[in-house]
Amino acid sequence: MPEAPVSWQSKVRKVLEERRISVRRLAKMMGREERTVRQWIREEARPIGEMATVAQIATALGLEADSLTDGRDAAPRPAASKPAEVQELAKLVPAKFRRLAFALADPEIAEWLLAQLELYERAHRRARGGRG
C-alpha cells in the first residue's frame, strides 16, 4: 500500500520544531504577517501563489523548495547556500521589499514581473508623447 503524500506544511512544522524557530520568526524573515503564515502552516488557509510562497518559506529556512513539495516523508534538503547566508542577505533587504525579493527568487514570477514592467514603461513613454 503506497504511503500518503506528506504536505509541505507538515515538513515546515517539523523543520521549525527541530530548529526551534517560531512561526513569528519565520514570518518576520519572510516579511509576512505572523497570523497569515501560521494559518498556512496549520493548513487552515492556502496561500495565493502557493508554489511561490513555498519557495519563500524554503528560502527563509535555507531549504530546497522541491524537498518541501516532493510529497515524501524525508527530511528537507538544505539549499546550496547556507541558512546563515540567506539570513544575512535577507537583512540587507529592507523589510518592505522582502516579499518582492523572495518572489523574484522564483524565475516564473520574475519573468512575469519584468514583462509587466516593460508594458508599464511603454505605456508611460506613450503618455509622455514618446515612442512605444
pLDDT greater than 80 at residue 122: yes
Check: pTM over 0.95? Answer yes or no: no
C-alpha cell at 93: 533587504
When comparing pLDDT for 103 and 96, which is higher? 96
pLDDT greater than 60 at residue 1: no
Say how many residues make up the chain. 132
Q: How far apart are the C-alpha atoms of 102 and 95, rounded to whole Å?
A: 11
Which residue type, as a one-letter code, is found at position 112? W
Q: What is the pLDDT of residues 100-119, one digit of tens each?
A: 776 666 666 666 677 777 88
What is the pLDDT averaged over residues 8-22? 93
The residues, any chain, with a CB within 8 Å of residue 102's CB and separated by 6 or more, are 30, 31, 52, 55, 56, 59, 60
The residues, any chain, with a CB within 8 Å of residue 126's CB and separated by 6 or more, are 132
Q: What is the pLDDT of residues 22-66, one digit of tens each?
A: 999 999 888 889 999 999 999 999 988 888 889 889 888 888 888
